[in-house]
């Protein structure tokens, strides 16, 4: 029996942009995923340095962004959890939700994979799902390959590298542009752009 494959994509999504969406779509197609579930972070432990936008706004923007893709969904699991959210807890939650006929894939960008060894309970994280490392402008394939080898040596787990269409877009850059009154058209879906304006985010 062929296993059902589900993709998970975690992120702060502050805001979600086309870099996230293209990586998820290309992972879906290349790995034959039946769907990709986007998981906006509740209160991410590694982003204490700037004030992350209220999770409800980030959840709604993610929902607006994925609405036009029948294979994309958004989950409230992290948004609804109290306190800091860790990927390990989220993946455990999904692993317990589905039976073993479902194979879980976690889609991450190159930057996230490069510091995977600093993640809480990384060995457990790697047990719950297979990682897809999406290339990202600014990070070299050599860096990524080295990290993938290191993980393989340490934990015996394969991480798949996926060359995705390069989108040199980051949420940090979008927040800056909005703050400076610059256009973010064609960097985020239109519905997200309008949501940001209507709710006066990133001003
Ligand atoms: P920030 O600048 O606030 O860190 P970001 O653009 O990096 O925002 P995140 O929400 O931090 O977005 O990223 C969520 C996931 O998406 C991470 O795994 C990240 O590596 C990946 N990702 C983000 N932008 C891209 C992109 N342009 N190409 C490929 N992967 C991306
Ligand atoms: Mg980031």
The pick from 36, 171, 174 for probing ligand 1's pocket by mutation, whose C-beta has the most ligand atoms within 8 angstroms, reads 171
In ligand 1, the atom with minimum distance to the C-alpha of 166 is: 28
Q: Enumerate residues lining ligand 1, CB below 6 A.
A: 11-14, 19-20, 23, 108-109, 111-112, 134, 136, 167, 169-172
Question: How far is 4 from 102, CA to CA, in rounded Å?
Answer: 5
CA 5 to centroid of ligand 2, rounded, Å: 25
Helix (H) or strand (E) holding 26: helix 18-30
Of all protein residues, the one whose alpha carbon is nearest to atom 20 of ligand 1 is 109
Partners of residue 155 on adjacent β-strands: none
Partners of residue 109 on adjacent β-strands: 134
Entry pTM: 0.96
Question: Angle at which helices 55-66 and 18-30 pack, to 10 degrees?
Answer: 50
C-alpha of 169 from chain center: 14
Partners of residue 72 on adjacent β-strands: 36
The arithmetic mean of pLDDT across residues 105-121, rounded, is 97
Of all protein residues, the one whose alpha carbon is nearest to atom 30 of ligand 1 is 109
C-alpha of 95 from chain center: 17
Confidence band, pLDDT 50/70/90 cuts, at residue 171: very high
Q: How much is the pLDDT for 190?
A: 98
What ranges make up the beta strands (E) of the chain? 4-11, 35-40, 72-74, 102-109, 130-134, 159-162
Of all protein residues, the one whose alpha carbon is nearest to atom 8 of ligand 1 is 171
- Per-residue DSSP letter, 143: H
In ligand 1, the atom with minimum distance to the C-alpha of 50 is: 3
Q: What are the b/e assignments for 76-88, b being 16+ CB within 10 Å?
A: ebbbebeeebbbb
Ligand nearest to the CA of 114: 1
Ligand nearest to the CA of 108: 1
Q: How much is the pLDDT for 125?
A: 97
Query: What pLDDT digit, counting tens, does each position of 80-111 carry?
Result: 998 888 999 999 999 999 999 999 999 999 99
Of all protein residues, the one whose alpha carbon is nearest to atom 15 of ligand 1 is 11
CA 170 to centroid of ligand 1, rounded, Å: 6
Question: How far is 21 from 61, CA to CA, in rounded Å?
Answer: 12
Torsion 163-64-48-46 (CA) sign: negative
3-state secondary structure of 163: coil
3-state secondary structure of 86: coil
Helix, strand, coil percent values for the chain (each to nearest 5): 40, 20, 40
Query: What pLDDT digit, counting tens, does each position of 50-66 carry?
Result: 789 999 999 999 999 99
């Amino acid at each position: 029996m062929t296993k059902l494959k589900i993709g998970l994509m975690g992120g702060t999504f502050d805001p979600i942009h086309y870099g996230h969406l293209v990586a998820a779509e290309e992972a879906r197609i290349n790995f034959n995923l039946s769907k990709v579930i986007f998981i906006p972070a509740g209160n991410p432990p590694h982003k204490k340095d700037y004030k992350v936008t209220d999770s409800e706004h980030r959840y709604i923007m993610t929902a607006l962004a994925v609405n036009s893709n029948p294979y994309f969904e958004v989950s409230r699991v992290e948004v609804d959890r109290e306190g800091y959210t860790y990927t390990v807890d989220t993946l455990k939650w999904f692993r317990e939700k589905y039976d073993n006929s479902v194979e879980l894939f976690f889609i991450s960008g190159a930057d996230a994979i490069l510091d995977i060894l600093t993640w809480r309970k990384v060995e457990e994280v790697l047990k719950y799902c297979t990682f897809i490392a999406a290339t990202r402008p600014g990070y070299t394939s050599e860096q990524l390959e080295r990290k993938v080898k290191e993980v393989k040596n340490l934990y015996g787990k394969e991480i798949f590298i996926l060359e995705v269409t390069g989108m040199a877009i980051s949420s940090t850059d979008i927040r800056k542009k909005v703050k400076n009154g610059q256009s973010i058209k064609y960097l985020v879906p239109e519905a997200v752009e309008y949501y940001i304006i209507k709710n006066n985010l990133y001003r």
